[in-house]
Amino acid sequence: MRFNIVMLLDRNKIPFNHSGIVINFPKIQIENFNNTKIYKYHDNTQPLVNFKLNFKSGAVLDKIPGLANFTMSMFQGGTSSMNSSQLSEEFEKLGATYFSNAYWDECAIGFTCLEKYFDKCLDLVAQCVFDSQFADDEIERQRQKIAANIMHNLSDPSYLAQVTFNKGIFLNHPYSNQRTGTLDDVSSITRNDIVECYKLMIEKSSTSIIVTGNFDDNSFNQKISAKFLPISNNTGIDAVESFRRIHSPHLISAKDESSQTNLRIGKASIDRKNPDYPAFQVINTIFGGYFLSRLNTVLRETKGLTYGIHSYLDSRKYGSAFIISTGINCDKTSESIDDIFEISDKLTSEKLTNTEIERSVEFMTGSFARTLETPKQITGLIQTIDSYDLDLSFLSDFYSRIRQLSADDLIIVQEKYFHSSDYLIAANGDVDYLSSSLSKFGKFEVIAI
């Protein structure tokens, strides 16, 4: 005889974890190699090593949008002794993965490999850094790959909504550009532009190095000294100015024949070094930072207007933005914005409950603990510390601080940062419908992406 047991989930009863999660913060070492910071984290439980070389210059410095991205793609384009296919084959023979990427505020190249192949992979990366050839045929091959990726992104309404928002919130600042450039940008980039960008990184950009996993500490510094001495004394490139929010009209971009609207709503916001940052993150989790948030409870669970909605802080070196992101049926766009504004404004005037605060803190703590499970994840953690020039104690201080916050502490921060009055609305969808139905929220400008 077989019994079928059906367990029903009571969605009206919110689950809660009272376990009191303890975070074991990784022991990270910092050393200096001339002007280069070296971050080390040892983990000998697996025979893997992660290596990352950061150049402290990124897409924010592009004279042509997309130039840093194009240049970093050419680090995989071949050296004087290997073409791009041969280079890829060398890494594959070692069972290694390698990358070279451009971000907003830095560029990076690195690899993950077995410990026994570390020397060989380090040599290959050093060749990519100092011996890239920028062959014309490889430039054209990369140009086609980047253009294909841009065209793919242009078919994604979520991407279009984010680009629309960036153009409004970061108006007149390089952050308003598309990090990979437009099709016109990419087609205009020449070999001379790429070489100029490359030389700026190699000759001037300050650098840092991250190594995590199973590596020999005794020989590591000697290997780094032998391979990367030429860039270790770089003093850095002049920084760009921090952006200042210029209030602009709300923005709409077109997605032809779309039955949905992708929304980005937000404002200029704080950075990680702001004393209010811990409290802000606890509040944001309650507002829109996880499934049990107020935004998701009202718009998804209660009204069924969306499959999901979340809010987050987009932190960058020269300016950050607080963003609410969702996709909804076109005819529910106005109603959804009304709800978002109402929930946001209510948050500024009412104290949070102790249950909300405790649940938010437990969620944040548990989520963070899951990011410390592998050396590769810890590489990402160190990247954040390095990118924003944070102390190693930043994270332990942060998670200690959020456990001490009371409703009285938080209401002060709620009142400062969560009013809807200065929100920028960016929508991607049916232009004609949105221009009419959203006019009650103020002036809108239609832009092309």
How far is 212 from 374, CA to CA, in rounded Å? 9
Percentage of residues in the chain having pLDDT higher than 90: 90
Q: Using 50, 70 and 90 to split pLDDT, how confident is the model at 5? A: very low
Lookup result for tokens 């932190």: 315
Average pLDDT for residues 410-435, to the nearest whole number? Answer: 96
pLDDT tens digits along 129-167: 999 999 999 999 999 999 999 999 999 999 999 999 999
- We find that the CATH architecture of domain 250-447 is 2-Layer Sandwich (3.30)
Average pLDDT for residues 99-107, to the nearest whole number? Answer: 97
Cβ-contact 61, 240 below 8 angstroms: yes
The per-residue pLDDT for 154 is 94
Q: Is the pLDDT of residue 242 over 50?
A: yes
Q: Which of 123, 131, 124, 109 is CA-nearest to residue 50?
A: 109
Look up residue 113 and give its two tokens.
């490999």
Q: Is the pLDDT of residue 4 over 90?
A: no
The per-residue pLDDT for 422 is 93
pLDDT tens digits along 34-81: 999 999 999 999 999 999 999 999 999 999 999 999 999 999 999 999
3-state secondary structure of 311: strand
Residue 251 bridge partners (DSSP)? 426, 445
Q: How far is CA 104 from CA 2, 57, 84, 176, 413, in A?
A: 59, 8, 25, 11, 28
Determine if residue 320 is left, alpha or beta; phi over 0 gives left, psi from -120 to 50 gives alpha, anything else beta.
beta
How far is 114 from 161, CA to CA, in rounded Å? 41
Q: Which amino acid is at 41?
A: Y
Average pLDDT for residues 302-320, to the nearest whole number? Answer: 95
Q: What is the pTM of this model?
A: 0.91
Q: Is the pLDDT of residue 18 over 70?
A: no
Q: Is the pLDDT of residue 3 over 50?
A: no
- Roughly how many angstroms between the first and final C-alpha of the chain, as a whole number? 63
Q: Is the pLDDT of residue 112 over 80?
A: yes
- Round the average pLDDT of the chain to a whole number and report it: 94
Domain pair 29-231 / 250-447, same fold: yes
Determine if residue 213 is left, alpha or beta; phi over 0 gives left, psi from -120 to 50 gives alpha, anything else beta.
left
Q: Which of 283, 303, 258 is CA-nearest to residue 353?
A: 283
Lookup result for tokens 């997309």: 66
Q: Which of 313, 236, 246, 312 is CA-nearest to residue 274?
A: 313
The per-residue pLDDT for 7 is 45
Q: Which amino acid is at 233?
A: N
The per-residue pLDDT for 38 is 98
Domain ranges of the chain: 29-231, 250-447
Q: Which of 366, 371, 351 is CA-nearest to residue 279?
A: 351
Q: Specify whether domain 29-231 bears CATH 3.30.830.10.
A: yes
Residue 436: phi, psi to the nearest 5? -80, -50
The per-residue pLDDT for 17 is 52
The per-residue pLDDT for 256 is 78
H helix intervals, 208-353? 217-228, 277-284, 294-296, 333-347
pLDDT tens digits along 113-126: 999 999 999 999 99
